[in-house]
Structure 1
């Protein structure tokens, strides 16, 4: 079987699996590989290219996830389609003018959305059917669905090293709602330290509870613990992957935060909003595993599965957990259990684990594409070692506003760093890669490069 012509450059920035996948994709687009044509085995291709079989297997996995090829058990891997590519030569990039009476459709490159495209619809339907097969509840349970809480406890142990049981977990509707529940237990008017830049919905939840958010700066290692003022009732932080800058709080700084929490009597709210999305780095121990007596661990399914579920979780010190349960019981407020049952069904069938493997593979490939587009513009991204977004630092807020507005005119929705800041003067744009379909992302990236390097901003519209 003839091996397609693929250039492999070991000195290039792109990983070898990405280069091989790109070469095969380009060959399909050019017609060198015809629809229905069988590809060489991963072993044959590895031998021909002088790379390991791991490289070619990863490339085939990527193409399978994208839908370019199809595996037939016992037969081989075949090309199934080769759509026309979207190529925009750099010198020809122009910002499109909005059509009369309408607007340019936006490709959503903002952070915070899940990758709905990778979710197996058959698995999704199976989970809903399985959840519906369970009998309806006769009485409410303020803790949440037992199967859901058991699934969360198992996942936290396997992937995050947090040793808890189902009874230690409370279901929530998401991290913002969990922050609001905890905030309602703090004294009115209490001050709460928050990251700046940081997650503004948490800030809004604190303010709605009558608390006073106090901005604390972040650096490349996340929250600057030494800048947390004395006298706060709580600290809200995202230590695993600071939102939005992407810093990872090192162990020494985590230990310092825990030491201060115990000495000064405040609680730490640990928002692990995208803890499942790790690529080149292993997760550091959760704050909750270091100090379960002072840390409230928060998680959500909104970034990994879908906000449709409205399902999250909370692990808190026993006194605080009991206080939350008492409020839920006396007020009759509790998170709906339908989404919890769906996630529990996905976990029980193994569909959730398969989904997360596909998700990490797909988002890893998208990350490389977005990084390459940013670097091609002469910019150095930060915060992309985990999660589904990165930050492109910019020298000023005026340039940030210019980039965001130029991107919008080009049909791309970006978020400026200003949206996440309270008092911080930092400037930049946040670029996410989970929300759009892959073909939309690929089409938008040349325009993103043009906007970031100034060509689209300096070119006349039209």
Structure 2
């Protein structure tokens, strides 16, 4: 979205006899004709444009007024000035989209799974990147990840998830990854053969489903109730189960202790590998989390974690803790294919942990998200709208009576400039759960407060 004259390469000729305002209007029309400007693009303010071009604001105001009169642009109170006409020969914006979507700059994201990047200490962030850059350039590939990163992960899991890596560090068990979906993809390629069956929670994390399917595996959905995975519904003959027991994605339940025991017993009896996605396990606000499946059964569980939800996807860093045979096969796959996670994000996390900035961020994160959750839940319940899920994580779920109602709420929210997730897209099989997941991390707190009343009105009608 162009926000400066530099992006549009506007040049005014002060030797020309044509008035500067006319030149500017001509340049903006030419930018639209060349495709540099498209319908929905936001223009700089007249003051900003005048400053960049080193002209008076009278010049830019006159140019904008001319384009407004011609219908090329439109001013929106409190928002800015937007291009309304697509250049000749370009694909027009569909009329339905134009009616239902607000300009991206004005959209408030209540999407599922977004981190609270506004809470990052930018001084600590810059310091960590500078320190990471002091390391000598690598001369060889490290398929398991940097040793110091794996040590930092082991310490993080002990402090924040209560997971003790057997035998001290046991670096063979802790491997760096590029994130959850990539870890699932690597496991699919290194542990199974095309055609093998893998069970998944339904609804669940569809990027993991996509990674399994891309490896040629058969994905079999397992239904849930309000307590999570129905263990007795896991199909016979599957090689593995992908699940999120600490905070089910997206419904938000915590798998009860009895079901965890039953799941481990089933895995040991049938030779089933459990892939435990602990995507936001650090974010609990009510009681201490139940023990990780990896702590209960390290022999049959692969534990996955990520920095994407607690920090930012910028790092592209995650981890897995796996039984020796699984870790060995994954490393052999990386050696064979020359693949593996990039070390830059690993180095940054090491520096954040070493200076105590990671721990401070997590404390700040829990406090902020806990307060936001209370704000959202109280507003919904005051309106008589029940909320599904545990007191944890970064989103809440509101169930709706039908998929049609769900789609209608999502579309209506988009017209208001609010982006929310429907549960329909999180199913691998037929849609069983209908509703919306409301994330409260990607936006500012002021934005959250401002959009809650109209969103609640949509949900209540």
TM-score of the aligned structures, taking structure 2 as reference length: 0.76
Establish whether residue 334 from structure 1 lines up as the match of residue 360 from structure 2.
Answer: no
Match of 1:389 in 2: 395
Query: Are 2:183 and 1:178 equivalent residues in the alignment?
Result: yes
Q: Is the contact made by 1:215 and 1:423 (CA closer than 8 Å) also made in structure 2?
A: no
Q: Are the counterparts in 2 of residues 171 and 311 from structure 1 also a CA contact under 8 Å?
A: yes
Pick from 194, 205, 208 the counterpart of residue 199 of structure 1.
205
Contact 1:238-1:271 at 8 Å conserved across structures: yes
Task: State the 1:411 CA deviation.
Answer: 1.1
Q: Say whether residues 1:282 and 2:283 are aligned partners.
A: no
3-state SS of 1:230 partner? coil
Say if 2:394 and 2:441, in contact at 8 Å, map to a contact too: yes
State the partner residue of 1:120: 121
Question: 1: distance between equivalents of 2:279 and 2:161?
Answer: 13
Please say if residues 374 and 448 of structure 1, whose CA atoms lie closer than 8 Å, have aligned partners that are also in contact.
no
> Offset at 1:320?
0.8
What corresponds to 2:430 in structure 1?
423
Q: Is 1:437 the equivalent of 2:438?
A: no
1:14 aligns with: none
2:457 paired residue among 432, 450, 454: 450
SS at match of 2:223: strand
SS in structure 2 of the partner of residue 313 of structure 1 = strand
> 1:384 offset after TM fit, Å?
4.3
Return the alpha-carbon distance in structure 2 between the equivalents of residues 281 and 308 of structure 1.
30
How do 1:300-379 residues align onto structure 2 when only pairs under 5 Å count? 300-379=306-385
Deviations 1:211-263 (A, max 9, x none): 01101011122111010011001000000000011111111111111111111
Q: Aligned equivalents of 2:337 and 2:418: distance in 1?
A: 44
| RMSD of aligned alpha carbons | 1.6
3-state SS, counterpart of residue 296 of structure 1 = strand
In the alignment, the residues of structure 2 paired with residue 290 and residue 276 of structure 1 have an alpha-carbon distance, to the nearest angstrom, of 18
The question of whether the paired residues in 2 share the 8 Å contact of 1:270 and 1:287 is answered with yes
1:424 and 1:234 map into 2 onto residues whose CA distance is 23
- Looking at structure 2, the residues matched to 384 and 227 of structure 1 have their Cα atoms a distance apart, in angstroms, of 23
Q: Which residue of the other structure, out of 278, 282, 298, is the alignment partner of 2:304? A: 298
Aligned partners of 1:150 and 1:166 also within 8 Å:
no
1:106 equivalent in structure 2: 107
Distance across 2 between alignment mates of 1:173 and 1:374: 36
| Alignment partners' CA distance in 2, 1:166 and 1:405 | 50
Q: Could you tell me how far apart the structure 2 residues matched to 1:220 and 1:373 are?
A: 22
Structure 2 Cα separation of the partners of residues 236 and 170 of structure 1 = 18
> Structure 1, residues 100-151: CA drift from partner, whole Å, max 9, x if none?
9365222100111100010010010011011111111121111101111101
How much does 1:449 deviate? 1.5
Q: Unmatched 5+ residue regions in structure 2? A: 1-78, 85-97
State how far apart, in whole Å, the 2-side matches of 1:106 and 1:383 are.
26
Which residues in structure 2 correspond to 1:85-234 (within 5 Å)?
Answer: 101=84, 103-104=101-102, 105-164=106-165, 165=169, 167=171, 168-184=173-189, 185-234=191-240
Q: CA deviation at 1:190?
A: 0.7
What is the CA–CA distance in structure 2 between the aligned matches of 1:279 and 1:311, rounded to whole Å? 25
Q: 2-side partners of 1:346 and 1:278: how far apart?
A: 21
Q: Give the superposition deviation at 1:377.
A: 3.2
Q: What is the distance in 2 between the residues matched to 1:358 and 1:166? A: 31
Q: C-alpha deviations, 1:382-419, integer Å up to 9, x for none? A: 11411000110111111111111111111110111101
Tell whether the 8 Å contact from 1:309 to 1:338 is kept in structure 2 after alignment. Answer: yes
Aligned residues: 358
Bigger Rg over Cα:
2
2:368 aligned counterpart, secondary structure:
helix
CA contact (8 A) 1:192 1:213 kept: yes
Distance 1:166 1:304, change over 3 A: farther
* C-alpha distance in 2 between matches for 1:289 and 1:344: 24
Q: Structure 1 stretch 370-379 or stretch 206-215: which is displaced more? A: 370-379
Matched residue, 2:54: none
Aligned to 1:45: none
Cα distance in 2 for partners of 1:372, 1:310 equals: 35
Do 2:253 and 2:390's aligned partners in 1 also have CA atoms closer than 8 Å? no
- 1:43-122 correspondence runs (5 A): 101=84, 103-104=101-102, 105-122=106-123
Note the alpha carbon deviations across 1:278-300, whole angstroms, 9 max, x for none. 10121110001111111000000
Distance 1:255 1:384, change over 3 A: closer
Q: Hey, what's the Cα distance between the residues in 2 that align with 1:148 and 1:340? A: 6
Structure 1: gaps spanning 5 or more residues: 1-95, 455-462
Answer yes or no: is 1:244 the counterpart of 2:245: no
